[in-house]
Amino acid sequence: MEHKHTYDENGKQLCCTPQEGKIYKNAGAKKLVEEDGDRIPKKKKEEHQHSDDDGHDHGETDKTAFQMFLPAIISLVLLLIGIALDNYIKPEWFKDWVRIVWYGVAYLPVGLPVLKEAFESIKQGDVFSEFFLMSIATIGAFIIGEFPEGVAVMLFYAVGEVFQTLAVSRAKTNIKALLDQRPDEVTIIENNQPKKIKAAEAKIGDTIQLKSGEKLALDGELISDSASFNTAALTGESKPDSKNKGETVLAGMINMNSVALVKVNTAYEDSKLSKILELVQNATAQKAPTELFIRKFARIYTPIVVALAVLICIVPYFFVDDYVFRDWLYRALIFLVISCPCALVISIPLGYFGGIGAASRNGILFKGSNFLDKIAEIQNVVMDKTGTMTEGVFKVQDVTIEEEFDKDEILQLVNVVESKSTHPVATAVHEFVGEINNSINLEDTEEIAGHGLKARANGKEILVGNFKLLDKFNISYDVDPSKIVYTVIAIAYDGKFAGFITIADRIKDDAKQAVEKLHSLNVKATMLSGDKTTVVKYVAEQIGIDNAFGDLLPEDKVNKVKEIKARNESVAFVGDGVNDAPVVALSDVGIAMGGLGSDATIETADVVIQDDKPSKIPMAINIGKKTKRIVWQNIILAFVVKAIVLVLGAGGLATMWEAVFADVGVALIAILNAVRIQRMKF
C-alpha cells in the first residue's frame, strides 16, 4: 500500500523524516536536517522531551551561535594553554598524569557529544559512522601519547559541525519563510460581528475580514470592491497585485491597504498554499541520483577504510625490518581522520537543499532534488499556448452571424452553452454577451475533448467549438478557417452553420524573453496547442519558438512528446490545463503553471511555477544546472584532496594536522561552496 504523509494542524509532517541527517544533535543541526522534532505529534512532544529513558539526545537545539561555539572555545583555550606549557613555559609540574588530565579536560567539551553519538549509532546498528571514526582516531591519539593532536582533531571537527549547522539553518530560511505564511487564526463575520476562529475551522461560504497587514489563510473570492495584495510568499514577486471584486485571492497573500472582505470558496486543506506546503515539505524526500549514490558509497566506503587502517597498522610488521607499532598506529589513525566522508555526506544534500530553497524564493517549487538534476539536462521544452505563453484572458474581437439567424438569439444560446465550460474562452463570451438567459432550457450537454460543446436548446442541436467540431458533425460552411488569425468559436444551430466569433488572447510580457533565454541555454522550444494552427503559428513567430503545432487533441500532444523522446532527447513539458496532465506525466520533467493551472496538472507536475511567468522556465533550468555544477565541484574536491592526503598519510608523510585539513577543511570549503547558490542571481 502506498504511504501517504500525515501532517498536524500547522502543516508539520508527523509520520516520517523528510531528510536524513548526520550532524550531532548538540550542534542543533540534526533537528534542522532531520526535522527530528517534526516527527513527534505535538501533544506527545513534551513527554518525549522529558522522558529519561527514550534513548534520544536531550541536548538543547535552539542555541545562539555563541552557545554552539562555547564548547569549542573552552577546548581551544585549554589546548592553547597546554601547547604553551608543553613547548614554551615547560614547568616541572606539567607532566605525567597532570598533562594527561589537562588534555583530557580540553577534550571532553568537544569529544563527549561525538562519543555519545558514536555509541547511539552503534546501538542502532550503524557501527561505521563518522562519529565512530573520529572517536577511535582521537582516543588512539591519546593512547600513543599525542594528546594535543587528539584534542585538535576533535576540536576542528566540532567547529566544522557548528559551521555545518549554521549553513543548514541558512539554507532552510527561505523554505521556513514559506512555511510560516499560513496563519493559524482568521476573523470571520458572523451575524455582522467579527469573530476569531481557527483557520482550519473556517467553512466554504464564510466571509473573512482581512485587516491591513494580515495574511489570508484560505483561498477565496474578493467581495470588497478592490484590494491590493503582497504575493511575494507565493510568487516571489515583490510588486503589489491589485484585485477587484469577484477575483480570486489565495492563502498566503497579505492585504496591503484598507480592510478587505473575502468569501471562502476552498476548504483549508485544499487551498493552493496547503498544496504548496505539502510540495515543499516532501521535496527533500525525493533524492537526486547523485545524493543516493553518495549515501550508498559512504555505507560501503567507511567499513573499507576502517579495514585498510587496521591493515596499515598490522601488515608492515611482516615486511618492515625496523617496525615500530606506535608509528604505524599513528599512520592508521591519520588515515581514519582523513577518510571521514563528512564533506560529501553534508555538502551534497546541502547543495540540493540550497537549490530547492533558491528556487522557492523565486516562486518555483521543485517536488524533489532529483528534478533539479533532471531539469539541468533538459534538451527540449515543449509548452502549451493558452495560459502558459499567453495570458489566458480572452476578449471577443468580432462576431459574424449568418443573415438567416437572429444575432442576439445565437449569442444568448452560445453564452448558455459556454457557461458549462471552464475554458477561458467561455469567460470571454460571457463578458461580451452579459448575463446568462436562464429561460433557455439546455439539455444533453456534452463536452467533446479537443473540439468543443454539443447540446440541445429549444429542441434543436447546437454546436459551439472549433471548425473541427463542425466537420465531425458534417456541417458545411463557406469560411476558410486558415485565413482567420484569431482564435475562432464556430457555431452551428439546427444542423446549419450559424456563424463564428473571433477571440484574441494576449501574449505574456516575458514570453519572448523566456524563449531567448532557453535558446541561450541550448534548449529547443516547441509549442503544442489545441488552438487553431494559424493562431499557434502567429504566437510562435512573435516570441521566436522553433516549432509550433496547432489543432491538436490531448492524445496528439502525447504523440508529439513521444516523437521527441524517440530521438533520445529529454523533454520538459509546460502546461496549465486538465488536458495537459497526461503529457506532463509522460515528460522527463513536468512543469505546471501554478497560478492559473488546474489542480490535476499541478498534482502531476514535478515543478510548479507559482506566478505563471514563462521567464521562470529558463530560470528553473538555470537553477538546476548551477546546483548540479556545485554538487559535482564538491564531489571532485573531496575525492581529490582526500586521495592525496590518504596516500601521504599511509606513507608517513602527513601528520594529524594535514588529516584535519583533509577532513574538516575540505568539508568547510564544500559547505561554503554549497551555500553560494543561495546568493546567486538567476
Catalytic residues: 384
DSSP assignment letter at 508: P
Judge contact between 350 and 171, C-beta under 8 A.
yes
Residue with cell 513521444: 562
- Integer-rounded Cα Rg, in Å, for the chain is 32
**64: three-class secondary structure by DSSP:** coil
Judge contact between 512 and 367, C-beta under 8 A.
no
Q: Which residues contact 355 (CB under 8 A, 6 or more apart)?
A: 366, 369, 372, 623, 624, 626, 627, 677
Could you tell me the three cell numbers for 585? Answer: 506525466
**452: three-class secondary structure by DSSP:** strand
The CA distance from 641 to 652, in Å, is: 16
The CA distance from 278 to 144, in Å, is: 53
- Strands 364-366 vs 607-609: parallel, antiparallel or unpaired: antiparallel
Q: Which residues contact 365 (CB under 8 A, 6 or more apart)?
A: 276, 279, 280, 283, 359, 594, 607, 608, 610
For 123, other C-beta atoms within 10 Å of its C-beta total 10
Residue (of 98, 61, 62) closest to 82 by Cα position: 98
Could you tell me the three cell numbers for 398? Answer: 468580432
Could you tell me the three cell numbers for 632? Answer: 559535482
Judge contact between 486 and 507, C-beta under 8 A.
no
Which residues share a beta bridge with 6? none
The CA distance from 123 to 467, in Å, is: 72
Consecutive H or E run containing 197? strand 193-198
The CA distance from 161 to 32, in Å, is: 13
Judge contact between 631 and 670, C-beta under 8 A.
no
